[in-house]
Amino acid sequence: MKKITLTILVFTLVTLGGCIPESPRVADQKANFEALWKIMDERYCFFEEKGVDWQEVHDRYAAKLKETEGDSYRFFLLMSGMLNELKDGHVNLYSDFDISTYPIAPDPTTGLNIYARSRHFKGHLLKSGGMRYGLFATEDKAISLGYMSYSSFSNSIGNMRVILSLYDKADAIILDLRGNGGGSLDNCEKLLSYFIKERCLIGYTVHKTGPGHGEFSKPKAQYISPSSIKTLREKPVIILQDRSSYSATNDFLYKVRVAENVTRIGETSGGGAGMPASSELPNGWRVRYSAVKSYDKDMKLLEGGVAPDIEVHNDSYYKNPAAEDKILIAAIKKIFEIKGIPYPKEDGK
């Protein structure tokens, strides 16, 4: 049977763009273009870090406005293109027919390949809140490990008392944050509280105080207190990360570095060290943008991502569908090393 391939017919959408109704507000494209540019010019916080000449971007895209006249979809694409010059996953344009995005991981399968990962586990993962977890042993029974996969900080971290009780006899714990695009900073701090011994400084934030690109508040210190129940401090913890580890996950990855028992393995995280805000355009569309900068405890800004302790990349699923999970295997090898046990010559699944 011949393979069927489906391709999105963008040209059809473009052709029909003039049929997409404008919001019943100010529909003038130039007015909305200027409003979007000004909102970003006065409220976006990373112009210096991104190295973007925002005035030059304005002039270049304003020159294309005539090409979008009377066509809402083409106008949306023009505005989205202007925003994507910032290369920021927290910057989005919301219309009543589409949402613009900037891809933080061009090929996410070089980090998390769920098919490769599943080939290394035999058994069922339990679920509590947003946490999937289980207790596993290598085939030679040399080590036992607790495995937790947390796919979004938008979901609760689950019943950690129960989860950690399962790991009482585990030699080490793997926390898989690959593919976690962020979510609630409250959940980020709840999970972080299991890694620290006492209340400590974890970072700083600054926010815009005026329309100028360099107008910011003084740094505000952030502190966190330890959990009062079972913790993740008593044994080695290997954290897996990739380019899709973004926003609140990026925050977690740089804050958890205060824990001495943690090793992070995988790819540099996707960044997203700015907390977003949003504003409305005259036509009713909304724009989201990074408005607050986050720094680590040494006042280092990590908008570009957090490098792992050990860098490992998986083969692209699209190039090698039968690829193994090299990042997970590297974590298991690290546990053998920590325990002082020779790694078996076999796969060590």
Least Cα distance to 251 among 311, 310, 302, 193 occurs for 302
Beta bridge partners of 205: 220, 294
Residues in the chain: 349
Last residue of a domain, which of 94, 126, 145?
94
Least Cα distance to 158 among 130, 180, 184, 177 occurs for 130
121 and 70 assigned to the same domain: no
Distance CA 120, CA 122 (A): 7
Angle among Cα 6, 114, 189 to the nearest 5 degrees reads 120
Least Cα distance to 45 among 182, 203, 206, 184 occurs for 206
Q: What is the pLDDT of residue 13?
A: 44
Evaluate whether residue 77 is within a structural domain: yes
Evaluate whether residue 214 is within a structural domain: no
Burial of 6 (0-12, 13-18, 19+ CB in 10 A): exposed
333 and 258 assigned to the same domain: yes
Identify residue 104 by its one-letter amino acid code: I
Query: In this structure, what CATH number is given to the domain that contains residue 168?
Result: 3.90.226.10
145 and 256 assigned to the same domain: yes
88 and 145 assigned to the same domain: no
127 and 244 assigned to the same domain: yes
29 and 166 assigned to the same domain: no
57 and 159 assigned to the same domain: no
Last residue of a domain, which of 69, 94, 119?
94
Contact 44, 291 (CB under 8 A): yes
32 and 175 assigned to the same domain: no
Distance CA 333, CA 1 (A): 43
Q: What is the pLDDT of residue 141?
A: 86
239 and 265 assigned to the same domain: yes
Residues whose CB is less than 8 angstroms from the CB of residue 345 and which lie 6 or more positions away in sequence, other chains included: none
31 and 155 assigned to the same domain: no
Q: Residue 97: phi, psi to the nearest 5?
A: -135, -5
Evaluate whether residue 314 is within a structural domain: yes
Least Cα distance to 238 among 223, 209, 259 occurs for 259
Q: Are strands 262-266 and 237-241 parallel, antiparallel or unpaired?
A: parallel
Evaluate whether residue 292 is within a structural domain: no
Q: What is the pLDDT of residue 345?
A: 72
140 and 80 assigned to the same domain: no
Q: What is the pLDDT of residue 2?
A: 44
Q: How far is CA 246 from CA 239, 249, 259, 306, in A?
A: 14, 5, 20, 10
Number of domains in the chain: 2
Distance CA 18, CA 71 (A): 4
Contact 36, 85 (CB under 8 A): no
Distance CA 272, CA 188 (A): 14
151 and 251 assigned to the same domain: yes
Evaluate whether residue 137 is within a structural domain: yes
Q: What is the pTM of this model?
A: 0.87
**DSSP calls for 173-208:** EEEE-TT---B-HHHHHHHHTTS-SS-EEEEEEEEB
Q: Residue 279: phi, psi to the nearest 5?
A: -140, 160
Evaluate whether residue 165 is within a structural domain: yes
Evaluate whether residue 203 is within a structural domain: no
- Residues of the chain with pLDDT below 50 are 1-3, 5, 7, 10-18, 22-24, 347-349
Evaluate whether residue 4 is within a structural domain: no
Last residue of a domain, which of 94, 117, 143?
94
Q: Structure tokens of 158?
A: 């689950």
Contact 308, 266 (CB under 8 A): yes
For residue 153, the enclosing domain spans: 108-195+231-270+305-339
Q: Structure tokens of 218?
A: 């003084």
Q: What is the pLDDT of residue 14?
A: 45
Q: What is the pLDDT of residue 12?
A: 41
